[in-house]
Structures are given as C-alpha cells and as structure tokens.
C-alpha cells in the first residue's frame, strides 16, 4: 500500500518537500494520545529476544533512525512510535545555518538510493538544546545527538565549534556523535586524519565531562566509507587509545563508479553523498574491518545500505550492536522498522542464539546457509 502511495504521490513531489510533509504527519499522529498508542502497539511491539544494551541504555531492538532525518529534534517520539529503538538527531552545528542551495536532495528509486548535499541545514545547537530541555518524552527512547562543524567556521577553529555544541547539547544526549565524515561541508572530511581527529575528540570529551558532572556521556565518531583501509585501521586504533564508546560506520559516499548505478547519469552524477543500497557492500566491509581491529572493546553501529532484516542480521553477525537506517524508510515507509525487527526475530529463532546480543560479532557460517536451531548455545 505504501509503495503505491509513494508512486502516486510522494514520487511526484520534490524530495525535500515530501520529507517535510511525511514528517509533519508523523509528528501530528504522535501528539494524539490514543492514536499514537495504537500505532506504537502495531509498529513497535516488544520482542524480549531482540533487546540490546548499548551505552548503558536498554533498547527494545537494535534498529535505530540514522542522523539526517530529524535534524532539529522535533519528532523523536514520532519516530519511536514507528518502532525505532533509538533516534539520532542532527547533524547539529554550533551556529544555525540554512544549508546548501536547493535542489539538494535527489531520489534514485531504481537503485534504492538517495543523493543529498543538504549541508547540515539546522537551527543550531542553542535552539536544539532548548528544545531537548523542554521535551517531555512520551516514549522511553534512546536519543543520540550528532554534531558537526558550522560551514562558515574556518577549519583551524573547528575544535571550538564542536566544543560549543558539546557544551550545549551533551547534557541532553544519551550518546554524542562527532560527525567528521559528511561530504557536504568543505574541509570536514580532512578532520578524519588521526593527527587532527585526536585533539578534536579529546576536546569534545573534556567539554562533555565539564558540562555533565557526575555522568559520562558516551562519545562516538562517525566515519566515511571512502576512507582507505589503512585509515579505517588508524581511526579504530585511535578510538581504542582514547577510550571512545563507539564508532558509526558509515556515512554517505562520494563514489559513483563501481556501484552498479542504473539511474540516469545526469542524476547519479549529482554532487553530494550517496546513501542506500549501493553503499551496502562497502559499509559492511568497513564494519568487518573495524570489528577485527577493536573486537568487543568498542560498540559498533552499522549504517549504510540497510534495507532488510537480512541486511541488519549480517551487520549483527559482523559485529554491530546497533543498526541504523534512513534511505530505506523513505522507500519502504512506516512499516519498515516493524518488518526489520520481525525478520530479525525469525532469523534469531533459526540460529543457535537465545538473544540477539549473543549473535553480535559471529561472522561464522551463518551468513551462507541455514543454521540448525540449538537454543541456549553461546
């Protein structure tokens, strides 16, 4: 039904306009107590075997909403109502900014992909912090806060900009993400180099500790799929050295060649970050490489090309405790999170594991064939 609606209505709208309309409907539904309870009962059922613990938080399932959908923290309860176990808001910058000129969001339906060059359009960390402070949660939801650099701030002042956002937002975050991997802010990805990333993460860690005395806010870094393998290893080693709590792999890609894109070249060639199905293979490669490097010392969050329960299951087996999505929600609609969690429960029932947490980081033969159920095995 959603697919038909998408083809008849949303596909005819400008993608950014369609996003605003759909998000507004979700938020409106979440404001009506009886309606939101009915929707949540159907779309967000609790399956005990899928519960996971990450960053000191218990979540009803591993699937969360990736940053970019709710940039200004206006619809957290609405997304929880749809079944997401955690919601990552942002990217939020130190100062408000309009983002890049429109059009800046493009659909590639045949490829199950999007291209965006939004440019961190958001209301700024002061406004978002005030909104989070005033929020009265309807659902118990883990809220991640993703922060990035204001475009007009020079690269040599980036640390100050991140610290400003941290000081305003850390107290409202269940976890904090340093985004140095968007391709749409000039110079941002250069901050992934370990000689620049080390002092930046150290400054954010210190600012978070100052801002929230008595509570250690978990700190993560989000990396690009376009990093060379040696650079992925270097970031993994740095994360261990600094005692980071997590790594999110991966952001969007600037690559186009070799991804099997079928969209018209004039569309596929738009500048910006490509997300969705074409990113699947590389994101999984990066995740496996990270897990081989850090083991259980750091929590891994997988994002990029997650379309189905099978995609989520592969990422769990590859070492991800949490999985995120965004593009698939656009194409598959409000029932998507429910379908992923139902599919994960079915795969878990056919595996040797009693809970999803038991399956994290087992890249054994379970990806390539059926597994004989032996419940309770570790």
| 222 has binding-site annotation | yes
Q: Residues in the chain, how many?
A: 378
Q: How confident is the model at residue 362 (pLDDT cuts 50, 70, 90)?
A: confident
Looking at residue 1, its pLDDT comes to 66
Looking at residue 376, its pLDDT comes to 33
pTM, entire model:
0.94
- Residues with a catalytic annotation lie at 182
- Name the 3-class secondary structure at 348: helix
| 116 has binding-site annotation | yes
The domain defined by 2-367 carries CATH number 3.20.20.70: yes
The pLDDT mean for the chain works out to: 93
Q: CA torsion angle for 231, 236, 241, 243 (degrees, to 10)?
A: 140
Domain residues of the chain, as ranges?
A: 2-367
Quickly list DSSP for 183-204. TTSTTGGGGGSHHHHHHHHHHH
Looking at residue 13, its pLDDT comes to 86
Contact present, 317 and 362 (Cβ < 8 Å)? yes
CA distances from 346 to 236, 285, 327, 349, 355 (A): 32, 25, 23, 5, 12
| 119 has binding-site annotation | yes
State the DSSP code for 334: T
Whether the predicted pLDDT of 378 surpasses 70? no
In the numeric block, which tokens belong to residue 120? 């961190």
Q: How far apart are CA 161 and CA 307, in angstroms?
A: 34
Residue indicated by tokens 């993560």: 220
Q: How far apart are CA 327 and CA 322, in angstroms?
A: 17
Residue indicated by tokens 């269940």: 174
Q: How confident is the model at residue 124 (pLDDT cuts 50, 70, 90)?
A: very high
Looking at residue 220, its pLDDT comes to 98
Average pLDDT rounded to a whole number, residues 22-32 = 96
pLDDT tens profile 34-85: 999 999 999 998 899 999 999 999 999 999 999 999 999 999 999 999 999 9
| 151 has binding-site annotation | no
């Amino acid at each position: 039904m959603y697919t038909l609606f998408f083809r008849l209505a949303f596909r005819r709208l400008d993608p950014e306009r369609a996003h605003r309309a759909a998000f507004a409907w979700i938020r409106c539904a979440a404001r009506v107590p009886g309606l939101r309870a009915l929707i949540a009962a159907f779309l967000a059922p609790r399956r005990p075997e899928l519960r996971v613990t990450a960053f000191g938080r218990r979540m009803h399932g591993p699937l969360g909403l990736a940053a970019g959908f709710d940039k200004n923290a206006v619809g957290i309860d609405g997304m929880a109502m749809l079944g997401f176990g955690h919601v990552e808001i942002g990217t939020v910058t130190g100062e408000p900014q309009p983002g890049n000129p429109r059009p800046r969001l493009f659909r590639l339906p045949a490829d199950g992909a999007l291209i965006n060059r939004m440019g961190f359009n958001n209301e700024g960390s002061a406004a978002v912090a005030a909104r989070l402070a005033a929020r009265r949660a309807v659902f118990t939801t883990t809220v991640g806060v993703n922060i990035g650099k204001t475009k007009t701030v020079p690269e040599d002042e980036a640390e100050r900009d991140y610290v400003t956002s941290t000081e305003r937002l850390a107290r409202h975050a269940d976890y904090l993400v340093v985004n140095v991997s968007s391709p749409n802010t000039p110079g941002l990805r250069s901050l992934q180099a370990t000689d620049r990333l080390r002092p930046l993460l150290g400054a954010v860690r210190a600012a978070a500790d100052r801002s929230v005395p008595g509570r250690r806010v978990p700190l993560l870094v989000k990396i690009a799929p376009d990093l060379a393998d040696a650079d992925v290893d270097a970031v993994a080693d740095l994360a261990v050295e600094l005692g980071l709590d997590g790594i999110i792999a991966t952001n969007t890609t600037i690559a186009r060649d070799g991804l099997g894109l079928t969209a018209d070249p004039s569309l596929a060639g738009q500048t910006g970050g490509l997300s969705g199905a074409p990113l699947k293979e590389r994101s999984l490669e990066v995740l496996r490489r990270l897990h081989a490097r850090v083991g259980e010392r750091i929590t891994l969050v997988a994002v990029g090309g997650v379309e189905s329960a099978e995609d989520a299951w592969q990422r769990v087996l590859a070492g991800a405790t949490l999985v995120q999505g965004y593009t698939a929600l656009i194409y598959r609609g409000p029932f998507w999170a429910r379908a992923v969690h139902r599919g994960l429960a079915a795969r878990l029932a056919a595996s040797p594991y009693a809970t999803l947490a038991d399956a994290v980081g087992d890249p054994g033969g379970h990806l390539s064939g059926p597994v004989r159920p032996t419940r309770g095995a570790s």
